[in-house]
């Protein structure tokens, strides 16, 4: 993908609003967050090729004011980093020019707010992760093309993995490949709808390796998505903060 | 007039005629019609040594022009040689192909052949507290 990505001519970033359901900071337990996608223009003389979906991510290395509606006073300020120290990355779901609607990594799942465009740096992400709870599979795409599909472990019926549109907010290396999370873990904007605290955390859902490879393919977790350890390394290598994760 | 007298007169006349015609004959022999390639050029005796109308190329220069161009990556082994004479001797100055790396100038450090234009976020070290 790298080479193809390199040669594309990004003539313009045309943020396309898929839906506009926000009247303020909102949230829903079973939500579908739209993603602000960009279209990639190729040279005019070339035949039209299928558009590769990309996602806009708002990045900041400083605290970010979150506004309930464009132009209103800030309702909260997100720290410059997550609790684990990852740089702040917010998935853009709507682009109004001066104002950007972003998905918030907090309860309830599906919460959104608004940031000033001048407060953040916009980046494009062309990776995307899809998790199929029924099939118990994870698929990684890059520029719309499947990079890998792997069986995964998902939450039990008592602590199910939440469904909806989320994104990667943390990339962690645990330093302990034999630990319960394996060597690499991705923290998501998703939170368990059942567990409000877990192991000292607030029930944040992640994608991570495991020290129990026999659990892969089963519904045995507390809501996280367990992947084979080698897959967790690949995800760490290829996935950026802000990468959208759709769980169905 | 007897036969001897008549022969003597003919011989004398021939000698006079030969003296008059001799310069033109010498000129013809020096220039040579095949060597004249410029029709507009009318050679004279003083112009014809060397022949100004000939387009014959000096062979040493042609031999130099026919030499293969030196490898720009390699030092010219003939650089500075033969300059006094103005003409390089082909047999002495064949540019050598660059087969020995030691003879080639150091091109310097290789640039990164494929720098990643899209580096990914590095992970941070941390103990997760995800739902597991």
Domain boundaries, chain B: 1-55, 57-99
Is A22 one of the annotated active-site residues of the chain?
no
Residues in chain B: 132
Residues A133 and A243 placed together within one structural domain of the fold: yes
CB contact under 8 A, B121 and A187: no
Domain boundary among A78, A101, A125: A125
Alpha-helical runs (H) found in chain B: 3-31, 59-65
Query: What average pLDDT does the segment A86-108 reach?
Result: 97
Q: What is the pLDDT of residues A172-214, one digit of tens each?
A: 999 999 999 999 999 999 999 999 989 889 999 999 999 999 9
- pLDDT band per the 50, 70, 90 thresholds, residue A11: very low
3-state secondary structure (DSSP) of residue B33: helix
**Checking DSSP bridges between strand A145-151 and strand A154-155, what pairing results, if any?**
unpaired
Instruction: Give the minimum alpha-carbon distance from B73 to chain A in angstroms, rounded to a whole number.
Output: 30
Residue A1 lies in a domain: no
Number of helical H runs and strand E runs in chain A: 2, 18
Instruction: Residue A149: name the closest of A166, A132, A163 by CA.
Output: A132
Question: Which range has the worst mean pLDDT, A135-139, A209-213, B94-98?
Answer: B94-98
Residue A118 has pLDDT above 90, yes or no: yes
Cα B128 from Cα B123, distance rounded (Å): 12
Residues A151 and A117 placed together within one structural domain of the fold: no
What are the structure tokens assigned to A157, written together? 């019926």
CB contact under 8 A, B131 and A241: no
Residues A113 and A167 placed together within one structural domain of the fold: no
Which one is predicted more confidently, B84 or A151?
A151
Query: What average pLDDT does the segment A140-151 reach?
Result: 97
Contacts of residue A170 in chain B, CB cutoff 8 Å? 124, 126
A141–chain B Cβ distance below 8 A for any pair? no
Instruction: Give the minimum alpha-carbon distance from A16 to chain B in angstroms, rounded to a whole number.
Output: 23
Query: What average pLDDT does the segment A14-33 reach?
Result: 42
Q: How many CB pairs under 8 A join A and B?
A: 87
**Mean of the per-residue pLDDT values of chain A:** 85
Q: Is residue B44 within 8 Å of residue B24, measured between CB atoms?
A: no
Is A67 one of the annotated active-site residues of the chain?
no
Residues A131 and A84 placed together within one structural domain of the fold: no
Count of CB atoms within 10 A of residue A115's CB? 22
Q: In terms of residue numbers, what domain contains A151? A: 127-247
CB contact under 8 A, B129 and A201: yes
Residue A179 lies in a domain: yes
Taking only residues 9 to 68 of chain A, the set having a beta carbon closer than 8 angstroms to any beta carbon of chain B reads: none
Residues A51 and A153 placed together within one structural domain of the fold: no
CA distances from B55 to A235, B35, B62, B63, B76 (A): 76, 9, 13, 16, 31
Domain boundary among A68, A90, A125: A125
Phi, psi dihedral angles at A231 (to 5 degrees): -70, -35
> In chain A, what percentage of residues exceed pLDDT 70?
79
Cα A147 from Cα A210, distance rounded (Å): 21
Q: State the DSSP H helix or E strand holding residue A2, giving kind and residue range, or none if neither.
A: helix A2-7
Q: Which of A195, A201, A211, A219 to mutate to test the interface with B (most CBs of B within 10 A)?
A: A201
**Mean of the per-residue pLDDT values of chain B:** 58
Residues A174 and A239 placed together within one structural domain of the fold: yes
Task: Identify the pLDDT of residue A54.
Answer: 85
- pLDDT band per the 50, 70, 90 thresholds, residue A42: very low
**Cβ neighbourhood burial of B51 (10 Å; 0-12, 13-18, 19+):** middle
Task: Identify the pLDDT of residue B132.
Answer: 82
Q: Is residue A168 within 8 Å of residue A185, measured between CB atoms?
A: no
Number of domains in chain A: 2
- pLDDT band per the 50, 70, 90 thresholds, residue A44: very low
Residues A14 and A102 placed together within one structural domain of the fold: yes
Task: Identify the pLDDT of residue B15.
Answer: 53
Query: What average pLDDT does the segment A111-133 reach?
Result: 97
Sign, CA dihedral A188-A194-A197-A202, equals positive
Residues A164 and A85 placed together within one structural domain of the fold: no
Task: Identify the pLDDT of residue A200.
Answer: 87
Which of the 8 DSSP states describes residue A194? Answer: S
> In chain A, what percentage of residues exceed pLDDT 90?
77
Residue A92 lies in a domain: yes
- pLDDT band per the 50, 70, 90 thresholds, residue A94: very high
Residues A87 and A134 placed together within one structural domain of the fold: no
Cα B132 from Cα B121, distance rounded (Å): 23
Residues 6+ apart with CB under 8 A from B25: none
Residue A184 lies in a domain: yes
Residue A23 has pLDDT above 90, yes or no: no
Model pTM above 0.95 = no
Q: Is residue A194 within 8 Å of residue A109, measured between CB atoms?
A: no
Residue A193 lies in a domain: yes
- pLDDT band per the 50, 70, 90 thresholds, residue A6: very low
Query: Which of A2, A171, A205 lies closest to B131 in CB terms?
Result: A205
Contacts of residue B122 in chain A, CB cutoff 8 Å? 171
Query: Which of A5, A159, A236 lies closest to B123 in CB terms?
Result: A236
Cα A133 from Cα A162, distance rounded (Å): 9
Q: What is the CATH number of the domain that holds A176?
A: 2.40.440.10
Which one is predicted more confidently, B61 or A190?
A190
Residues A143 and A64 placed together within one structural domain of the fold: no
Residue A3 lies in a domain: no
Instruction: Residue A174: name the closest of B128, B15, B113, B66 by CA.
Output: B128
- pLDDT band per the 50, 70, 90 thresholds, residue B7: low
Which one is predicted more confidently, A169 or B5?
A169
- pLDDT band per the 50, 70, 90 thresholds, residue A25: low
Query: What average pLDDT does the segment A128-155 reach?
Result: 97
């Amino acid at each position: 993908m790298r080479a193809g990505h390199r040669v594309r001519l990004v003539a313009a970033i045309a943020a396309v609003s898929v839906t506009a359901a926000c009247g303020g900071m909102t949230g829903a337990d079973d939500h579908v967050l739209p993603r602000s996608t960009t279209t990639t223009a190729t040279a005019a003389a070339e035949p039209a090729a299928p558009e590769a979906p990309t996602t806009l991510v708002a990045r900041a290395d400083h605290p970010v004011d979150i506004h309930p509606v464009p132009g209103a006073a800030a309702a909260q300020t997100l720290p410059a980093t997550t609790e684990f120290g990852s740089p702040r990355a917010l998935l853009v779901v709507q682009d109004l020019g001066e104002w950007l609607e972003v998905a918030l990594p907090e309860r309830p799942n599906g919460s959104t707010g608004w940031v000033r465009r001048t407060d953040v740096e916009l980046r494009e992400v062309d990776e995307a992760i899809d998790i199929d709870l029924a099939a118990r599979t994870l698929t990684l795409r890059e520029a719309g093309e499947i990079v890998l599909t792997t069986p995964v472990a998902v939450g039990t019926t008592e602590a199910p993995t939440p469904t909806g549109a989320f994104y990667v907010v943390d990339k962690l290396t645990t330093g302990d490949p034999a630990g319960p999370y394996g060597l690499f873990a991705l923290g998501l904007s998703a939170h368990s709808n059942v567990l409000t605290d877990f192991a000292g955390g607030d029930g944040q859902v992640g994608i991570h390796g495991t020290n129990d490879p026999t659990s892969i393919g089963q519904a045995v977790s507390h809501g996280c998505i367990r992947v084979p350890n080698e897959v967790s390394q690949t995800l760490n290598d290829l996935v950026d903060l802000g990468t959208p994760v759709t769980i169905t | 007039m007897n036969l001897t007298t008549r022969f003597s007169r003919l011989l004398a006349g021939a000698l006079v005629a030969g003296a008059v015609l001799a310069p033109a004959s010498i000129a013809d022999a020096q220039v040579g019609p095949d060597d004249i390639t410029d029709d507009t050029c009318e050679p004279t005796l003083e112009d014809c040594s060397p022949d100004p109308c000939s387009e014959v190329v000096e062979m040493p220069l042609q031999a130099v022009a026919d030499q293969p161009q030196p490898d720009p990556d390699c030092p010219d082994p003939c650089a500075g040689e033969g300059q006094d004479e103005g003409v390089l001797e082909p047999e002495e100055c064949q540019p050598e192909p660059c087969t020995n790396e030691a003879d080639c100038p150091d091109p310097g450090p290789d640039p990164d052949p494929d720098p990643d234009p899209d580096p990914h976020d590095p992970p941070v070290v941390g103990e997760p507290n995800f739902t597991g």
